[in-house]
Chains A and B, each alone.
Chain A
């Protein structure tokens, strides 16, 4: 069996997957948090007592970065063949890379846009404190897709890719 795929070894593909998952999720979250924190900062200048309701809104777009991190950790520890990375064929590494892409792309886009939605929600809470519950629901809707992408990534690892490990005996 070919040890490389497209010129890269299995370990290289797997590492690439872990890294892009973290980059996509982390970058999306950073941008998202920046958007909402800007608005929250403005609100808090006038209304320091709104810190409590602002805090969860600012943190909400942070989830994507954490999902990227979890994906990277799963690749590094769980997807490592028991006989060492050298045993991983290139094509299987490429599958791991593919499985990482949902978290990378969806995390990036949803993190960014969740930040925009949360910024809108922060404006809503600034005007009407009692709307906190509703304000939290709106950005949480965007998060649904980040969660779905994490689930697909994890399912791909365990349902599609891991069985190949058993059949290859690695």
Chain B
């Protein structure tokens, strides 16, 4: 990554931004943000504050319209239909023309009015529904509601009495308010709806009794007719409101054909905003502008040539970053390993001084995923689904990468399944002989060899992590740290591996070499790993402590890889339970066969889905917790060059 600085006359600023945008090669640095630390510069220059308000406003209007249209889109479904529906494709020329074609102001004004009215109508509908619901209990009450309160000496109350306390309430009413009367309007299992007439002198006692027995007082402010009449009226009003709502929704739906254009418009304004924000990231004096940024070395010449076309009065300089400067991180990988960048991005990009771990993450993730599924049948299903999606679906680049990763994982599950004899969980005894070739193992009945393989893979995986750290140390000029801290550890693990191999295969010389390497490595850790300590005792005891930590930590790490076995076995075990259930049910005449097919299809699909989740999450954990902790330093800022970027539509010719 090279640091770029361009000094240009102020009047060429827009032209320069346009040029950089079309090249798409420069990650523009936010120079004003760095000014706080450079007081001398702060006096000389002001950040140029461009007014991006109009673009922001247009963008938020477009967003509003899109949200409104999506709310009333017919047949919009969940995650999968969003995948299947395909995206909007445009040429670059069509993309640029979209601003002229859509009358954003007019459309916004029209739809905003409709939306405001719609909200009002919807809240009226809800209110009317509540009123109808409340009136439903009082339809038998045949007095007009407006007249119900017009008595000289009495007041009328509509109350709901809980059935449980009705008897005691009625009794107390007879004693406390003898000048009152009530009529039952409706009765349900747990409440009675009463119209109670109370003499005004006894109002206080009535209120007291009401709260004592938990009575609920009901009133219908604003309603005049009988409950029956009012209900009819409100229902009629409800019908009118529903009709109006349908008309409003219809009017919104009429605009649906504009949605692709609005999507494009959203991307158009987002890009416009990006350009305007880039101008805010420059520094300027009265007549000049300074642009700072980063560019990949491979694109230096192309950029230089393009900048020269702007004229002689541009001062362009390229330089390597100094030690204090942190360039943005861009992962550059081969096509086969690119899908694993998804995993790195999920965690956070590496610091630019670090080795890109993608080539190491990719094979292990795919292998571990395969071990968690470890079934040829399930692997095949996954691979076929991913292959179909890649061929038939219109996927974004990120989604393509992810699906390709799933394809590799499916193939890996098939390969592992061949060795673990996993074929849709069919049990070992029922498999044909040729599938049980020597070297393959039945996970269910013979777990130890596979557990050992997991542990060995774990040791290899974390050793690679340590080796990467050693390489980084040596590359960054701390050769001794690399050799003493990581080199000795690696020697120890290599010795351990040889020892185990020699003991397992009963090859004595191998075992001996292993012992020597292990002892040498351990001695190295004790004597050398703490070489930075000043005192001799500090070196020794620090080293001893390192050895202890190394053993404890590594045993824990390696044991953690046994999860691969456990998850693989879980897949096989659930699969075989599904098969047994299906076989049990097969005995039922006629229906048996159908039920068997249903159980087999449903059961295996269920098994695949729940295990997919763990097969994704646990290998991720092994990468993040066990592997990355050996070397990885995140904190990289993603390399995002100023250029055309669309999130809603696809531009085919760019």
A residues engaging B (CB < 8 A)?
51-53, 55-56, 59-60, 62-63, 66-67, 69-70, 73-74, 77-78, 129-130, 132-133, 136-137, 140, 143-144, 147-148, 150-151
Stretch at the interface among B51-59, B179-187, B250-258, B445-453: B445-453
Q: Are B566 and A70 in contact (CB under 8 A)?
A: yes
Q: Are A137 and B556 in contact (CB under 8 A)?
A: no
Contact of B625 among A56, A66, A130 (CB under 8 A): A56
Chain A residue, CB-CB nearest to B632: A133
Q: Are B346 and A132 in contact (CB under 8 A)?
A: no
Q: Which residues of A contact B587 (CB under 8 A)?
A: none
Given contacts A63-B563, A70-B566, A77-B445, contact A132 B618 (CB under 8 A): no
Please tell me if B223 contacts chain A, counting CB pairs below 8 Å.
Answer: no
Q: Are A136 and B625 in contact (CB under 8 A)?
A: yes
Q: Which residues of A contact B566 (CB under 8 A)?
A: 66, 69-70, 73
Q: Which residues of A contact B621 (CB under 8 A)?
A: 55-56, 59-60
Chain A residue, CB-CB nearest to B623: A56
Within 8 A of A (CB), among B444-493: 444-448, 451
Contact of B346 among A51, A60, A78, A150 (CB under 8 A): A51
Within the complex, the shortest CB–CB distance from B626 to chain A, in Å, comes to 9
Q: Are B555 and A151 in contact (CB under 8 A)?
A: yes
Q: Are B629 and A136 in contact (CB under 8 A)?
A: yes
Q: Which residues of B contact A147 (CB under 8 A)?
A: 555-556, 559-560
Within the complex, the shortest CB–CB distance from B487 to chain A, in Å, comes to 23
Given contacts A77-B447, A147-B556, contact A59 B617 (CB under 8 A): yes
Please tell me if B562 contacts chain A, counting CB pairs below 8 Å.
Answer: yes
Contact of B624 among A62, A67, A136, A151 (CB under 8 A): A136
Q: Are B346 and A55 in contact (CB under 8 A)?
A: yes
Chain B window 555-579, contacts with chain A (Cβ cutoff 8 Å), 1 for yes, 0 for no: 1100110110111011000000000
Contact of B559 among A51, A60, A73, A150 (CB under 8 A): A150
Contact of A55 among B446, B447, B556, B617 (CB under 8 A): B617
Within the complex, the shortest CB–CB distance from A85 to chain B, in Å, comes to 15
Within the complex, the shortest CB–CB distance from B468 to chain A, in Å, comes to 15
Q: Are A52 and B347 in contact (CB under 8 A)?
A: yes
- Inter-chain CA distance A151–B620, complex, in Å, is 24
Given contacts A66-B566, A69-B566, A130-B634, contact A56 B559 (CB under 8 A): no
Q: Which of A51, A56, A130 has the most CB of B within 10 A?
A: A56
- Inter-chain CA distance A52–B618, complex, in Å, is 13
Within the complex, the shortest CB–CB distance from A80 to chain B, in Å, comes to 10
Q: Which residues of A contact B569 (CB under 8 A)?
A: 73
- Inter-chain CA distance A52–B635, complex, in Å, is 14
Within the complex, the shortest CB–CB distance from B348 to chain A, in Å, comes to 6
- Inter-chain CA distance A62–B372, complex, in Å, is 15
Q: Which residues of A contact B570 (CB under 8 A)?
A: 69
B contact face: mostly helix, strand, loop, or mixed = helix
Within the complex, the shortest CB–CB distance from A117 to chain B, in Å, comes to 14
Please tell me if B165 contacts chain A, counting CB pairs below 8 Å.
Answer: no
| Given A70-B451, A77-B446; 15 other pairs, CB 8 A cutoff | A52-B345, A60-B621, A62-B618, A63-B560, A67-B559, A67-B562, A69-B566, A70-B565, A77-B444, A130-B634, A136-B629, A147-B559, A148-B552, A148-B556, A150-B559
| 10 A-B pairs in the complex with CB atoms less than 8 angstroms apart | A53-B347, A67-B562, A69-B570, A70-B562, A77-B445, A78-B448, A133-B633, A137-B629, A147-B556, A148-B552
Q: Which residues of B contact A63 (CB under 8 A)?
A: 560, 563
- Inter-chain CA distance A147–B563, complex, in Å, is 12
Nearest 8 CB-CB pairs, A to B?
A52-B346, A147-B556, A56-B624, A66-B563, A59-B621, A66-B566, A56-B621, A69-B566
Q: Which residues of A contact B632 (CB under 8 A)?
A: 133
Chain A residue, CB-CB nearest to B618: A59
Chain B residue, CB-CB nearest to A51: B346
Within the complex, the shortest CB–CB distance from B432 to chain A, in Å, comes to 24
- Inter-chain CA distance A81–B400, complex, in Å, is 51
Q: Are A132 and B625 in contact (CB under 8 A)?
A: no
Q: Are B447 and A53 in contact (CB under 8 A)?
A: no
- Inter-chain CA distance A130–B345, complex, in Å, is 14
Q: Which of B346, B559, B565, B635 has the most CB of A within 10 A?
A: B559
Contact of A53 among B348, B552, B560 (CB under 8 A): B348
Chain B residue, CB-CB nearest to A150: B559
Chain A residue, CB-CB nearest to B560: A63
- Inter-chain CA distance A25–B566, complex, in Å, is 14
Q: Are B347 and A132 in contact (CB under 8 A)?
A: yes
- Inter-chain CA distance A53–B624, complex, in Å, is 9
Q: Which residues of A contact B347 (CB under 8 A)?
A: 52-53, 132
Q: Which residues of A contact B447 (CB under 8 A)?
A: 73-74, 77-78
Q: Which residues of A contact B625 (CB under 8 A)?
A: 56, 60, 136, 140
Q: Are B629 and A129 in contact (CB under 8 A)?
A: no
Within the complex, the shortest CB–CB distance from B448 to chain A, in Å, comes to 6
Within the complex, the shortest CB–CB distance from A109 to chain B, in Å, comes to 17
Given contacts A56-B620, A60-B625, contact A133 B634 (CB under 8 A): yes
Q: Are A132 and B634 in contact (CB under 8 A)?
A: yes
Q: Which residues of B contact A150 (CB under 8 A)?
A: 559
Q: Are A55 and B620 in contact (CB under 8 A)?
A: yes
